[in-house]
Structures are given as structure tokens and as C-alpha cells.
Amino acid sequence: MKRSPTSCLRPAVLLLAGTFACAGIHAEASGQKGSAMTGTVAPSNAQLASPEIERRVEALLKQMTLAEKIGQLVQYNDQGFSAPTPSNGDKALAANPETKTQVDAMALAKQGRLGSMLNVIGAQKTRAFQEAAMHSRLHIPILFGADVIHGYRTIYPVPLGLAASWDTALVRQLSHMAATEATTAGVKWFYSPMVDISRDARWGRSTEGAGEDAYLGAAMARAYVRGYQGSDLSRPDSVAASVKHFAAYGAAEAGREYNTTDMSDIRLRQVYLPPYKAAVEAGAATMMSSFNALNGVPATANPYLMDEILRKEWGFDGFVVSDYTAVMELTHHGIALDAATATKKALEAGVEVDMMSHFYDTQIPKLLAEHKLSMATVDEAVRRVLRVKFALGLFEHPYAQGTEVTHAVQAHRPLVRRAAEESFVLLRNAPVGGKAVLPLGNEVTSVALIGPLADAANEMQGAWGGAAQAPDVVTLRQALERRMQQRGGHVLFAHGTDIDSDSTQGFDAAVQAARQADVVVMALGESSQMSGEAGSRAYLDLPGNQQQLLEKVVATGKPVVLLVFSGRPLVLDWAAGHVPAIMAVWFPGTEAGNALANVLFGDVAPSGKLTMSFPRAVGQEPLYYNQFPTGRPAGDADLSRPPSGGDTRFVSRYLDVPNDALFPFGYGLSYTSFAYAGVHVSRSTLPLAQANRPDARSLVTVTATLTNTGKREATEVAQLYVRNLGASVEQPVRSLKGFQRVTLKPGESRQVRFELGFPELSFYDVHSHQVVEPTHYTVWVGGSSQATQSAEFDVR
């Protein structure tokens, strides 16, 4: 399928950045009749649609040679690249010496044949390559990209942990902070955010996203894009976002990295596409294709994804970059017998930039000469790249500006510390001797700190830790020793074991330290490299012999606080029944130790809520809260509740473990308690004609009273869930449709308010149309996906 050179029209009137020209865009995407849409979908990023930018793009394009055009479509690192041979032994590739030799990236830059580079770190390096490009014939600047996923030098929690804050304003602040640091090194393009929905904790890249829910994922996607790009891409402290991985990479079979994905169009649109769409609506300048095949077609050569949905339905006007060597990997997928076919399929599907495959620059000339590829397709790809470069202001300001940031910024530490504090999820806090273990009180004069992650600076930065420096990190041991010294107490430290070891050599010292202390803090979990790309795991238990160490220490009878460091949910079934206090702390970043100390000692009350369900056993995966009821549900109509009686064998269940999560989506405790009451809907009946308009907002208002019933000020994340019964397509038992962070003093009450409109009430029918039907709705408001306070209304 060939892509039209004008897949969407650019209006003469500049739109507000991140908005659509017409409120009826939802209708066009869903195929609704009677839409307000007239003609094509407006582009999502107004800056890329600027008539002035378009004029400059066309003027430059007319001057470019074929080699210079192709140069804009290729990407290398600073080492150049030696192209791998496709797995099928492509004879044409093997016979061509040019494709087998090392490419000199600097030489390409000097010739104006290098459009972008990845992971070139440091202002000195980026300036050297940029100077070479700016001295080429047409002076077209290079766009420098990097995997800045959760901070550049000052590192904040991994995205899965950050999402547990449910704080989109904070995410936006942090994203902007990362941009301000990286741009001082010449980096103007982030391969972030990763917005893949992940419902399988075995998948290592779960750590890079916002978890299992589409609504929350979309909210986080918008926050990242707006933080990175701001309101003006040309500002010195703005970067272009590259939203990844398009699409549905998080649904890889068996949670195995690079594996295939297969699903219905309904599930694709209802669950997996919303975060990408939200990012496009927020004005994302670029998109990255994913490694996986979707329904048999690799994403990097998938015109349904790239052209039909991304460009025609959503009006995306930026460019798409492949993931690392993904164009070459089309031969591994088996849909291309040679490099030329892989190039043709990827480029015509809508992948403008070839990351590190070295296919576009070697194969496009041959394809053009053989009339197998049109120059119009090449020109449109070049246009898309140039638009982003002009919008970023690279032609005016090609070099890094300001003083380069080479270490964590002192002024940024309070923000990343707050982010870590908000990300921690208190999973359990049972009383010992009549008092909850956490927060640690003044009576605690000695703490045994045990575990391989207690003093591991490198591990605190997590996967994709930007350009972090380990000496910048405050470890838990450092912070805890400082705090206990200030209190007149002391810390007994024992390493215990390594993260993934079967040696018990350190067990005796750990047990001895525990026996001498008032309370034990155990820092256990994964290494940072056990999650992230190529970090899939078949078992989700604590690695190595950490579980045995935990059991030995618990057997001492001392109160134990278990801090779980990880980039994914782990199986904590034994701990949940034997350890009084458990907190998921992810990989918290530069200020890890200080943030942990603040929460452990009660300076800050934990407020994080889970964004992925924690399983009881790995055999439950994939596991998510908004499952379908089936014809034989294992419980009441709402699967968050246990069976109410009757024959429980011939239902959808396991024989050896309950269906529900050990710790469900949205769950998280505090140092106080909260109560919900008085859930109310503004109307009992909603006319179908009113509800079924794609631009309809605030159709039903849901309110509830939230009260802090405890003894200290704290923050609660109030959550709204919706269920739709009677629809033409089976609907989940409940789905998140709203949330807000609320801080209350002891005894204080506040009304929380949520608005439901077409986006929240609609679903995709069997024709992939987004619709509202005459059905019955139940809404719940509470502190997790197991909220019980509800109200009802009908659409008629």
C-alpha cells in the first residue's frame, strides 16, 4: 500500500498546539455518521502545520540532491555502523561491499547525508558532528536523540513507579526538568514516553510505561509530551517527544521481549491505542514503531497502523522512526527476502527514519532506479523530518545552549525526591505489639538494614538511567545512617546476599544484625537490568536466594519492613502473610535514600497507588483488573468480589489460586485512613442522542464525599470506575474513568467530583466504531479498583 504524499491537509490558520481543528475527530476515527467533520483530520501538532514552516520545507526540498534527501532518513550513533546480514542470507546484500563496511558517521555529516544520531552524549560530541553538518552544502542540522526515559542527569523514578504517583502535574514538571538538562548537551529529541499498556509483569519493559490501564496511560502520555515539548518546540529547553512503541508492544505473547502480538481490532482500539492517541492529541512531534508484529504484520511495515490510524484518523503530522535495526529485522520476521523489499515495505508503510539498519541509504537509490519506489514517497518522508527540525528551531540554533549539565543538579533534587516519595506504594502495614510498624517511631533506636539493594547506587537509577552518575545517588544506607545518627541511634548493616546468588555466606551476619535491632529494614528485589529491554522473566519471585534470607530474618521475631525494589510487580505471596510492613519502592532515582528515609520515619505519608496488579502466582499472568466477566464468572457480577456461594467448580477460575490479584490495581495504603460515602450521579437517565455525540462532555457528574478518618494529614488518590451493562459487545467488569489527588487534614472531608462524557461512556463496537448505546451504567468511587460505594444511571 502506497502512502499518499498528502495524507492530511495543513490548514492556513494556525491551531492551538496539541488540539484538533474539529471536535468531531472522535467521530471520524469511529466511523460515526452525522459528524461535525468535513474533509480530512487536522494535524495534531500546530507548529508542524505552520504555513511558514511548510514554505521553508518546500524551498529546501527543491534544492536537495537524492543523497541529501536520503541522508535525512537515516540515523546512526557516533561509531557509525556495519550493517548486519539479514537472517535469510540475502545474496544481494552480501555481494555489495558497501553494505558490509563500517560507515563513518562524521564523513556522512560533512557530506550532508546524516539526518539524525542517537545516544551521542555530551555537548562536545554533539557540537563536533553538528559543525560538520552545518558546513555541508545546505547546512541542514542533525537532530540528536537519546533514551532519556526518566531523567537525564538528575534521575527520577522509573516510569512504572512514577505512574504510581497518579500525579500528572508532577510528571509534566519532571519531563520539563529532563529536557532542560539534556538540551545543554545538544539533545533535542527524547525516545520517550513509552506508552505501551502492559498487563503481563513478565514483560521487562513494563518498567518503562504506566501499567495496565488505558485511561491512566493516556493521562500520563499527555503529561510527558507536554512536559518535554512545552508550548513551543523552538524554545531552547524544549525537546521533541518520540512516543513508543507503536503499537501494542506491551501485549507481546507470554511477556517475552520482541515477541508477536495478536488481538482483535476492538481490543487494540479500546485498550492499547488510547495512550498513543492521547500523545498525538497533545502534539507529539514523532513516533517510534515497535519491534513486534501485530496480527501477522510487523509494526515497522504496517500501513494500517502508520497510515490509516496514525495519519488519516488521528492527523499525525510528525515523522516515525523505526526502533533499533527494526527495518532490517523485517527479514527476520520473514516478510522481506532482501534489504530492498524491507526498505520498500517500511518506507511505504510510513516509517520515515531508519534507525541503525543501514538499509534506506543503500537501498532507496536502487529502488528508485528500478521504479519500485516513487520519489513522491521519499519526498514526503523528507518533508516530515524537516518540519520537525524547523519547528525545533535547529536551523537557527543548531548547537547546545547554556552551560552543559554533567551531574545531578542540586536545584532539581527536591523535585525528584518528591517524585520518589509519591511513587512509593505501601502494600501492607500490620500492627506489631498493638502499633503499626510504619512510620518508625522515636522508640526505635537501632535499625538493622539488610539486603543487596541497601547500598547499591547504580541500581537506584533503574533501567535507562539517562546519563546518570552513580556518585550522585543517595543510597538508603547513607540516608538511614545519617537519620539515625541525628536521632541518637545507629544502623546495623548487613549485605546478606547478592541480588541473584545462591550463596548463604552472609546469612548469619544478617540474622545477628536483626536480633540486635529494634526493627529490621530489608532492601530486596531485582537488579535494574532484570527489567527494561530484554528483561523478560518467567518467574516473578525475589531473585536468587533473597526469599530464603527474608524467611531467616522474619524468623527472628523482630518487626520487619520489606522494601521491594523492582521494575515490575513481583510475587510476594509469602511476604504478604508473614511480613508486617511491605512497600513497593521501584527504582527511585538520584534521591532514593532521602526519599525512603522521609517516608520510613513519617516525614511524608505514602500516597502511591498501584498501576499494575501484583499476582499471587506467575501463572495468573497476564493479570489486570478490568477483565471481562465471561459466561461463568468466578464470583459476583463484579469480579473484584469473591464467589457468593453455589457450585464454584465449573466457573472461570484456577484450582490452586484465586483469580484476583494479591495487591490490585489502584491499591495503596497510607499512614492514615480514608472513607468514601454518598456517591451520587447528577441524572438517572441520559438521552442517547445527547450521549452519542463525539464532542459531548460533562454529560453526567459523579460526586462523593472523601473523609480523612485518621490522625494525620495525608494524600489520597480518589478513583472513579464505570461499568456498562447491556451493550452489544461484552464490557469489562469495571474501568477507570477518572482520578484526582486529594490532601486532607485529620477529620477533614471534601467532595470529589468527576465528569463523564462521550470519551468515558463510549466503547468500540464490532465495526470498530466508537459508540454509546442504550445501556445501564454503574459507577464506583473509592481508593482502589475494588471500590464498593456506587451509584447508577441509564442511557436511553
pLDDT at res. 580: 98
Question: Which residues participate in catalysis according to the annotation?
Answer: 323
CATH number at residue 707: 2.60.40.10
Confirm if 190 and 643 have CB atoms less than 8 A apart. no
Say whether both 255 and 170 belong to one domain: yes
pLDDT at 19 over 90: no
In a domain, 476, yes or no: yes
Taking residues 630-636, report their average pLDDT. Answer: 84
Q: Could you say which of 567, 600, 633 is where a domain stops? A: 600
202 within a domain of the structure (yes/no) = yes
For residue 38, pLDDT beyond 90: no
The answer to whether residues 512 and 551 belong to one domain is yes
Q: How far apart are CA 198 and CA 623, in angstroms?
A: 9
Strand-strand pairing, 240-246 and 319-321: unpaired
Residue 15 banded pLDDT, cuts 50, 70, 90: very low
What distance in Å separates the CA atoms of residue 175 and residue 241, rounded to the nearest whole number?
Answer: 10
Same domain, 244 and 309: yes
Average pLDDT, integer, range 85-114: 64
Hey, is 700 helix, strand or coil? strand
422 in the same domain as 373: no
Given this model, what pLDDT does residue 727 score? Answer: 97
Concatenating the DSSP letter of every residue in 522-543 gives EEEE--GGGSSTT---S--SPS
Q: What is the pLDDT of residues 135-172, one digit of tens each?
A: 999 999 999 999 999 999 999 999 999 999 999 999 99
Average pLDDT over residues 460-484: 96
Proportion of the chain above pLDDT 70, given as a percent:
90
- Residue-level pLDDT at 45: 84
Cα–Cα dist 588/602, whole Å: 18
- The reply to whether 739 falls in a domain is yes
Does 441 share its domain with 529? Answer: yes
Q: Is residue 547 part of a domain?
A: yes
In this structure, is residue 612 part of a structural domain? no
Domain shared by 563 and 691, yes or no: no
In this structure, are 346 and 445 located in the same domain? Answer: no
pLDDT in tens, 416-433: 999 999 999 999 999 999
Which region among 32-46, 391-405, 563-577 has the lowest average model confidence (pLDDT)? 32-46
- Is residue 411's pLDDT more than 90? yes
Q: Which residues of 231-269 are buried (b: 16+ CB within 10 A; e: fewer)?
A: eebebebbbbbbbbbbbbbbbbeebebbbbbeeeebebb
587 and 504 co-located in one domain? yes
Domain-located, residue 91: yes
Apex 413 CA angle, 407 and 416, nearest 5? 110
Confidence class of residue 645 from pLDDT cuts 50, 70 and 90?
A: low
573, 600, 627 - which closes a domain: 600
Confidence of residue 26 (pLDDT cuts 50, 70, 90): very low
- How high is the pLDDT of residue 78? 84
Q: Are 746 and 711 in contact (CB under 8 A)?
A: yes
Q: How confident is the model at residue 649, as a pLDDT?
A: 85
* The pLDDT of residue 444: 97
- Residue in this structure with the C-alpha cell 558517521, named with its chain if needed: 105
CATH no. for residue 439? 3.40.50.1700
Q: Are residues 440 and 510 in the same domain?
A: yes
For residue range 584-603, what is the model confidence (pLDDT) as tens digits?
999 999 999 999 999 999 99
Do 190 and 288 fall into the same domain?
yes
The whole-number average pLDDT for the span 777-786 is 98
More confident site: 646 or 338? 338
Q: What is the pLDDT of residue 29?
A: 32
pLDDT at 103: 75
Q: In this structure, are residues 780 and 789 in contact, taking their beta carbons and an 8 Å threshold? A: yes
Q: Which three cell numbers stand for residue 689?
A: 442522542
149, three cell numbers: 526515559
pLDDT value of position 20: 26
Asked whether residue 90 is assigned to any structural domain, the reply reads: yes
Which carries the bigger pLDDT value, residue 451 or residue 79? 451
The predicted-structure confidence for 304-360, as pLDDT tens digits, reads as follows: 999 999 999 999 999 999 999 999 999 999 999 999 999 999 999 999 999 999 999
Contact present, 44 and 18 (Cβ < 8 Å): yes
Residues of the chain above pLDDT 90, percent: 88
424, 595 Cβ separation under 8 angstroms: yes
Give me the pLDDT at residue 668, please: 98
Both 252 and 354 in one domain: the answer is: yes
Burial of 125 (0-12, 13-18, 19+ CB in 10 A): middle
Please choose, from the candidates 383, 535, 494, 402, the residue with its C-alpha nearest in 3D space to the C-alpha of residue 43. 383
Residue with cell 505471596: 573
Q: Would you state the pLDDT for residue 125? A: 96
What integer pLDDT is reported at residue 635 of this predicted model? 75
pLDDT exceeds 50 at position 90? no
Asked if 691 contacts 725 with a C-beta cutoff of 8 angstroms, the reply is no
How would you classify the pairing of strands 74-76 and 354-355? parallel
Domain count, the chain: 3
Domain boundary among 600, 626, 660: 600
CA distance to 48, 69, 240, 284, 648, per residue, from 388 (Å): 6, 15, 8, 10, 58
- Measured distance CA(31)–CA(128) in Å, rounded: 50
Mean pLDDT over the full length of the chain = 91
84-88, 92-96, 649-653, 721-725, range with the lowest pLDDT: 92-96
259 and 149 in one domain? yes
Q: Flag the least confident range among 38-47, 363-372, 506-515.
A: 38-47
Q: pLDDT, tens digit, for every residue of 520-547?
A: 999 999 999 999 999 999 999 999 999 9
Domain range for 183: 60-391
Q: Is the pLDDT of residue 205 over 70?
A: yes
**pLDDT surpasses 70 at 77:** yes
250 with 196: CB under 8 angstroms? yes
Q: Report the pLDDT averaged over residues 477-496.
A: 98
- Rounded Cα distance between 266 and 270, Å, is 6
Look at residue 474 and tell me if it is in a domain. yes
User: Domain containing 221 — which CATH number?
Assistant: 3.20.20.300
Q: Strand 700-708 vs strand 674-681: parallel, antiparallel, or unpaired?
A: antiparallel
